[in-house]
Structure 1
């Protein structure tokens, strides 16, 4: 197979890394890629949202399967355009991807099909939102309705924080049109869990669970980011709870989307809170999570290319997916100032590893005359795996200590919640 992966982050580097291991993949391309991806695949200078450019490249190079990484590509209509032109693609079309593109849309689907989630209201008028927030009290959650690169969610502990979030999102338009409307929802307590599944219509094959770390600082302090690290498995959450999430959330959502006339072929990601009443949905995403992919795919025993092709061809029900018992841990190294403003172009040293149980997945890097430099907020996802989480975590942090760039920062407590339990 000739395969094209669309995207340029740590998730896409991990997809390329895993697809490279498949005997079925003869040629591997990535558009636009990054400095790490180009060691495994041919980088193509086409933006992940350049619909015409991607369709042209797929036709010219006779690509057998296109794998969409970022949500922006899905919502730009890349899948729709490829399918119209008769090309196989892994990822839901633009209409189905609204489960991520609009939080209100996702909430309405959950409400319609009885999927457990927090109480909510959506608003296009900031004054009405503020009135509702004052009635409900804090803590409360304020979310930009549209895409905001993982940063459009404010978990407000006080009314003042919630009011400031409404002002920031709706009036200052910190996230542009994503903040035209907002969703205000109940603050849920418990442990978080990320559960992804391969979905083809009503067929759902869950992946192994992971736990992400959204806040930028240790002990879940500071503003939310796109994710500062992850680990898998999540031993403090019982298998029966994971299975409950599959049967009460993932499977009903897949069935509900079919009933709603949506064509969903790709990954369905459920961001969950494990509350005293059971798992409830915080958010749905329409693609592989980042950095969860960096710890889930290293645990995959099956051939990823076979699974993605089966989804794209509408025959997932014929496939079995197996997983390794190993644990994996990913530490995100970020640019100074992230998730706020940060400088790019900082040279990175110590990028190469000879460890056979570790990988450095590039998220925001570029190749220049000076070597590999920083080119994003989240720069690297340093991942390791081992017989248990403690071993994987120790190896990941040991690898982190060998890498340097100006302003680098990372959390030092990734996975500690699981080890404490």
Structure 2
């Protein structure tokens, strides 16, 4: 029996707690800091995810046997290094390994060194030179903040004015703070975007079910990039041949590169990929489960995921059993998300959802005066299982009709590309 700590506040962490709590191995599960949904099924620890030393102190004092980290920021700041220095077991990559997400420049140069397919790019610290490059290179192109930006640091620019103003916003006005002082400007890749996530430990890895995220705010992949507005699993865009290419060209080369550079990586590894005519290319590496990809992925993993993680951590062979059903997730967001989301609206209607195949994971929620409040940018994740993506969509959107809060916005086309393809 183990006492488990999950670090994080969002929908991904709610899904993790929900899945791990099903294990007979779990004696007690804690969350730092969580949200209103997670607090219903886990013990609340009133420590923010970025307070690394406080979290390690708590884990020592409480006798936590295993910690799972959800978000990227604590990983980049070295939570794993702090825990392991105290002999505490924690699932996630070290500070050094987390540079794969913490710095776009590090990741791109790593890919270049190890022949991992990605977009052609240049790095800029001088906005004048960046603007000159844009005029010479031409559009469309993608501008990415070097540092962490909660999924909002990549801007697809279809015209020169947008590209120039993005450089102004990031590098001159500093709208993303230090994260945007250095930028990567790269070739715009065309194709289908998919997420490929694995459990990774040194040269051992176990693929999780495939998924596709929907990063743009509006239907038809319009509007600004967000942390993710919905996802589904599996994706028909990753067939056996494509997955073999992903493993050979990306995962295997990444593992070999990490080994050559003396970086040990243990944790979830997320490869955001564009399936181009030339083959799969890396858009980004993340050093954790995706959000909202984690929700449908964890819904499809059968059996004891706590045991899977413990066995993998201890070097044992792990074989995941996957539900043949599809799972789909739609994100309900606050008005103004992602730039300036409003907060404080009361959420109504969750009690009216009766379908046993529907589950609602909380993201940005809180309890105030006994009422459920929409506190974050992304508020709720409405998810469902079904035999097909089409049926899962029907179940989710039928459930969404029950939920109301002021300014609620969501995409109405999650998974539609897969339905049309099939």
- Which bin holds the TM-score, normalised by the shorter protein? over 0.9
Task: Give the equivalent residue in structure 2 for 1:172.
Answer: 173
Q: Secondary structure at the match of 2:345?
A: coil
Per-residue displacement from partner, 1:62-117 (whole Å, max 9, x unpaired)? 00000000001101211110000000000001110010000110111111111111
Per-residue displacement from partner, 1:233-259 (whole Å, max 9, x unpaired)? 111442211221122111221221122
The CA distance in 1 between the partners of 2:392 and 2:97, in whole Å, is: 36
Deviation at 1:161, TM superposition (A): 0.9
Is the 1:99–1:105 contact (alpha carbons within 8 Å) kept by the matching residues of 2? yes
The CA distance in 2 between the partners of 1:171 and 1:117, in whole Å, is: 27
| Structure 2 unaligned spans of 5+ | none
Is the 1:209–1:242 contact (alpha carbons within 8 Å) kept by the matching residues of 2? no
The CA distance in 1 between the partners of 2:370 and 2:44, in whole Å, is: 19
Per-residue displacement from partner, 1:354-409 (whole Å, max 9, x unpaired)? 32211101010001114110110000110101111111111111111111101001
Task: Give the equivalent residue in structure 2 for 1:265.
Answer: 266
Task: Give the equivalent residue in structure 2 for 1:351.
Answer: 350
Task: Give the equivalent residue in structure 1 for 2:413.
Answer: 413
The CA distance in 1 between the partners of 2:338 and 2:52, in whole Å, is: 28
Task: Give the equivalent residue in structure 2 for 1:385.
Answer: 385
**Does structure 1 residue 284 correspond to structure 2 residue 285?**
yes
Mean Cα displacement is larger for which, 318-327 or 411-420? 318-327
Q: Report the TM-score when normalising by structure 2.
A: 0.97
Is the 2:66–2:90 contact (alpha carbons within 8 Å) kept by the matching residues of 1? yes
Is the 2:347–2:405 contact (alpha carbons within 8 Å) kept by the matching residues of 1? yes
Task: Give the equivalent residue in structure 2 for 1:23.
Answer: 24
Please provide the CA RMSD for this pair.
Answer: 1.1
**Does structure 1 residue 312 correspond to structure 2 residue 313?**
yes
The CA distance in 2 between the partners of 1:281 and 1:333, in whole Å, is: 28
Mean Cα displacement is larger for which, 365-374 or 232-241? 232-241
Mean Cα displacement is larger for which, 351-360 or 174-183? 351-360
Task: Give the equivalent residue in structure 2 for 1:367.
Answer: 367
**Does structure 1 residue 224 correspond to structure 2 residue 259?**
no
The CA distance in 2 between the partners of 1:252 and 1:357, in whole Å, is: 39
Deviation at 1:412, TM superposition (A): 0.3
Q: Secondary structure at the match of 2:346?
A: coil
Aligned length: 419
Mean Cα displacement is larger for which, 350-359 or 95-104? 350-359
Q: Secondary structure at the match of 1:5?
A: strand
The CA distance in 2 between the partners of 1:402 and 1:52, in whole Å, is: 42
Task: Give the equivalent residue in structure 2 for 1:122.
Answer: 123
Q: Report the TM-score when normalising by structure 1.
A: 0.98
Deviation at 1:45, TM superposition (A): 0.3
The CA distance in 1 between the partners of 2:308 and 2:263, in whole Å, is: 21
| Structure 1 unaligned spans of 5+ | none
The correspondence of residues 87-166 of structure 1 with structure 2, limited to 5 A, is 87-166=88-167
Deviation at 1:263, TM superposition (A): 1.8
Q: Secondary structure at the match of 2:384?
A: strand
Is the 2:191–2:277 contact (alpha carbons within 8 Å) kept by the matching residues of 1? yes
The CA distance in 1 between the partners of 2:103 and 2:276, in whole Å, is: 24
Q: Secondary structure at the match of 2:324?
A: coil
